Structure 1
Amino acid sequence: MTSNERIGQRSVGQGAALITGASTGIGAAIAEKLAARGAELVLVARDSARLEAVAERLRAEHRVAVLTVPLDLSRQDAPARLAKRLEDAGVEVGTLVNNAGAAHIGAVGDVDPARIRQLADLNAGAVAETTALFLPAMLARGRGAIVNVASTAAYAPAPHNAVYGASKAFVLSFTRGLWYETRGTGVRVVAVSPGATETPMNPGRAPGKRRPEQVAETVVAALRGRAPAVVDGWAYRLQTFVFGRVLPTRTATALTGRFFLRAARHVR
């Protein structure tokens, strides 16, 4: 019997940890941290080969059951299909980490409109729907946790990366609202906002850039805390404070726009 089969056929106690975007980067690092603490896992991502490679490593190193679900969460029916898959397998989700996301650096007028819709559906729509699908069972049990991975880009408008910034602002606002709604229920809700991190979406090292493992540590710490939103790394905490509360919106937007304009030129 495989690990995939076992997780669906035995009690998972406090519930498995469901992590989206788990095949690389921050998602894979979060899976590693939770597996090291003995959590059984449900890993979701589009790339089935990479996803299974992560699962096999975690099974071997940490002796935990891991279920992989290859799925493109930007598709309209994907969150509902995921929930049905886990229901049929008898999997109880105790911790939900909505990490899957994507960006497209460039001016909105230069991007395929269908691509804009796809990004918004993945970064914002899938997060809200997936949360709504798994939250009721957590509330009924009186325990659970939801981590929504936002971004420092959520704290100021992001010209030349406008869809990503706006979608992450949605995630941040949505999570803060949900945090208030769930106070006293036993369900922990928190948004974690990384800054620039070494991931396939943001490759290469640079001064100040964080590693996925550092972000994963922040996620684990945030689960133990009480705040509705946490920014990863002291430098990025300072940045979001200045951009979100000190600078006028026009100034913050101009500075952010210059940063992403340079990034767009580099991409081209």
Structure 2
Amino acid sequence: MDLHLRGKRVLITGASKGIGAAAAEAFAEEGAHLLLAARSGDQLKALADRLRAAHQIDATTSIVDLRKEEDVARLAKEAAHIDVLVNNAGDIPGGSIDEAAWRHAWELKVFGYINLTRHIYAQMKAKGGGVIVNDIGAAGEKFDANYICGSAGNAALMAFTRALGGKSLADNIRVVGINPGPVGTDRHVTLLKTRAKHQFGDESRYKEFQKSLPLGRPAHAREIGDLMAFLASDRAGYTSGVIYTVDGGISAGWS
């Protein structure tokens, strides 16, 4: 299926690894030009170089910390002509955390999304339209007391996505969200290894926690990236203000 994304310009935050890098792969394969943003310069440059060579697209990078308003403003300026924004940067910790850690986490995952969207939405409106895809997280609908900072932050972003996307088509802008469940990223593996070390005294047993997941595995990052590309395309042109859950049915009652 041709997603009609060839030549489109896409900004992806948190693009150096995990879901962000997988989304970059998906868009690049469709012929989209990329602006990849993250805090990790070496990984970002390597990804951009590889995608540029493999798919004959433009791929540029921007080293930013979306906790900083000056970095948000600079990135928005660099992205003045983009067609698609993928908000993906975030690293909310689990467990019980203090106020400073809570605020630090939300500055990136919650206010980082909101502040960048405020800039980009205005630019898209001025140029005639666009698409914003928010990578949120299933903990925003299946609440987890052991991930309370993330559950609360994700729920806020779900409300933000639905409220903004419910009126955005008046400006020819679509705003959609994706709620991934467990995804087999480096961060997922690190969290499970920490849990295995604490519970079993052996981090190498982390895969035992995956056996109870649907299909006995977490989602592949590319399964999320492919959905991002589809939702950003005109194949999903009547879709706005909604959130797609991709967790193998966990939120629907998987046991």
| Counterpart Cα distance in 1 of 2:226 and 2:69 | 32
| Counterpart Cα distance in 2 of 1:158 and 1:77 | 33
| Counterpart Cα distance in 2 of 1:221 and 1:231 | 14
TM-score with structure 1 setting the length: 0.77
| Counterpart Cα distance in 2 of 1:218 and 1:52 | 24
Map of 2:220 onto structure 1: 211
2:245 to 205, 208, 231: 231
Task: Report the Cα offset of residue 76 of structure 1.
Answer: 4.0
Is 1:102 the counterpart of 2:91? The answer is yes
Is 1:163 the counterpart of 2:177? The answer is no
1:149 to 131, 135, 140: 135
Q: Match of 2:251, SS?
A: helix
Residue identity matched to 1:191: G
Superposed CA RMSD in Å reads: 2.2
Map of 1:222 onto structure 2: 231
Residue identity matched to 1:62: H
Residue identity matched to 2:73: A
**Alignment check: 8 A CA contact 2:102 2:149 kept:** yes
Report the number of matched residues: 222
Map of 2:172 onto structure 1: 186
**Alignment check: 8 A CA contact 1:158 1:166 kept:** no
Identity of aligned residues (%): 31
2:58 to 55, 61, 65: 65
Map of 2:198 onto structure 1: none
Residue identity matched to 2:45: E
Task: Report the Cα offset of residue 82 of structure 1.
Answer: 1.4
| Counterpart Cα distance in 1 of 2:74 and 2:54 | 30
| Counterpart Cα distance in 1 of 2:253 and 2:168 | 29
Q: Match of 2:146, SS?
A: coil
Residue identity matched to 2:91: A
| Counterpart Cα distance in 1 of 2:142 and 2:179 | 13
| Counterpart Cα distance in 1 of 2:179 and 2:48 | 25
Q: Match of 1:218, SS?
A: helix
Map of 1:41 onto structure 2: 34
| Counterpart Cα distance in 2 of 1:166 and 1:208 | 26
Q: Match of 1:67, SS?
A: strand
Q: Match of 1:44, SS?
A: strand
Provide Cα deviations, 1:9-46, integer angstroms capped at 9, x if missing partner.
Answer: xxxx9752000000000000000110111111100011
Unaligned runs of 5+ in 1: 1-12, 244-254, 256-268
| Counterpart Cα distance in 2 of 1:211 and 1:177 | 29
Task: Report the Cα offset of residue 57 of structure 1.
Answer: 0.6
Q: Match of 1:127, SS?
A: helix
Map of 2:193 onto structure 1: none
TM-score with structure 2 setting the length: 0.80
**Alignment check: 8 A CA contact 2:7 2:32 kept:** no
| Counterpart Cα distance in 2 of 1:183 and 1:240 | 28
| Counterpart Cα distance in 1 of 2:69 and 2:153 | 16
After TM superposition, what 4+ stretches of structure 1 lie above 6 angstroms from structure 2?
none
